[in-house]
A and B are shown apart, each in its own frame.
Chain A
Amino acid sequence: MPVPILKQGPYLIASIQSALTDADLMLLRDALVERVGKFRSLGVIVDVTALDVMDSFASRTLRDIAHMIKLRGADTVIVGIQPEVAFAMVQLGLTLEGVATALDLEEGLEFLDKSAKQRRQEMDRRGR
């Protein structure tokens, strides 16, 4: 099942609804990386609230997505990891290093707002 990608102002929201096959994950990756450029988005939120399993391929793909989107000039935040999933992930050593995480969609949006603001300030400082 493909993942719907919603556009919310300057951000993209990918809300995963059910367990994903590896092929679905690759599709999600390609679609997100493409649309970030197309919509000139500042940030991407991947909502995994509905997932109760996260295997190594899924977490590696999520990390790749975050890094690729970074290279495309936007931020990524993974939201809604369930407590049990989080615990299982760290036990398997899948800690999504270097990827921002937040509790839920609301927190994720707040995080992106903040990081966009920081980025602007950074630009201002450099410009001066």
Chain B
Amino acid sequence: MKEPEPRKRGARESADTTNLLRELVAHLRENRTQLREEWARRITEARLLTAMTEQEIFAEATSVYDNYVEALETETFETLQAYARNLSERIIPRGVETHEVVGIVLLLRDVLARSLFAKYQSDFQTLNRILDAYEPAANRIAITVAVGFVQERERTIREQQEAIRELSTPVLQVRERLLILPIIGVIDPQRARQLTEQLLRGIRTNRARVVVIDITGVAAMDSSVANHLVQTVEASRLLGATVIVTGLSPEIAQTLVNIGVDLIKMTTVGDLQGGIEEAERLLGYKVVLNAETRA
């Protein structure tokens, strides 16, 4: 029985808020030039957005301001969100940090709040009500922009990680039927899986018969990765390719022996050179040093 009452009050309140916001937006539109300049000045003062020139700051400040006012007016945040994404995309490569973006939005909030204080200083009641309407919307805007920036940055980071991962595991063809897979860096289970997939595809497309996996550049290996390596060797054999593993460091050798990985199934050679020589022997190549050039 009690339920309709708060809902009604809520509806009335929201209509009230909308009216107040309308008044607020009118105020912000009227004083656009002045407030915008004030804001841009304070951005420079606070030494935010140092990676950008003053003109750029002013141009961005103008669009942020207009988007801000629009978000207040319509109480929808989609346009602002899209704008925040777009802005982030442009400024992230220039090294703009999260605190700067959050900082400028909070500065704008403060500048506008200050102007509200100035306007309604004689009428405390109206000021209170208008701040009640303004503050939640302003906070929501600040959150929208900050989250948009962080999401954009995370997307950039993910893309870069993906690119690094792709680049970090090249499958190289040395001779007909001979592939080399140099592995450098840390192998986590995800990367190990990706490596295997890439290698198996490489074997198929290059019609490889021998593969040399060089792990000189791998500092450490845990048991799950070691087991994965053994699985890779076996999967390659099912495709008809022989795998030679080279460059096992003393530490990795010790780890593998300690955890009891089945080493019988792996062919290992000390270094990459030896591995390639062995691979060439398996393929029937014979490398002869030319006597003329030696002399």
Contacts and interface: CB of A to CB of B under 8 A. Distances in A.
B235 A107 contact: no
Interface in A42-95: 78-79, 81-87, 89-91, 95
Given A90-B234, A91-B231, A83 B203 contact: yes
A83 B204 contact: yes
Given A83-B197, A83-B203, A87-B196, A103 B231 contact: no
A103 B238 contact: no
B198 to A, nearest CB: 10
A108 B239 CA distance: 11
Contacts of A115: none
Given A83-B203, A89-B235, A91-B231, A107 B240 contact: yes
Contacts, number: 56
A101 interface: yes
Given A79-B240, A87-B196, A103 B235 contact: no
A68 to B, nearest CB: 20
Given A83-B197, A83-B200, A87-B200, A103 B240 contact: yes
Interface residues of B, number: 19
B207 interface: yes
A87 B203 contact: no
Given A81-B239, A86-B235, A89-B235, A103 B207 contact: yes
A82 B200 CA distance: 9
Given A83-B200, A83-B203, A103-B203, A89 B238 contact: yes
A84 to B, nearest CB: 8
A107 B203 CA distance: 13
A-B pairs, top 4 by smallest CB distance, nearest first, are A83-B200, A102-B240, A86-B238, A86-B235
Interface of B: 196-197, 200-201, 203-204, 207-209, 231-232, 234-241
24 contacts: A78-B238, A79-B240, A81-B238, A83-B201, A83-B204, A83-B239, A84-B200, A85-B238, A86-B200, A86-B238, A87-B200, A87-B235, A89-B238, A90-B232, A90-B234, A96-B238, A101-B238, A102-B240, A103-B203, A103-B209, A103-B239, A103-B240, A103-B241, A107-B207
Interface of A: 78-79, 81-87, 89-91, 95-96, 101-104, 107-108, 111
Given A81-B240, A87-B235, A103-B208, 14 more contacts: A79-B240, A81-B239, A83-B200, A84-B200, A85-B238, A86-B238, A89-B238, A90-B235, A91-B231, A95-B234, A103-B240, A103-B241, A107-B209, A108-B240
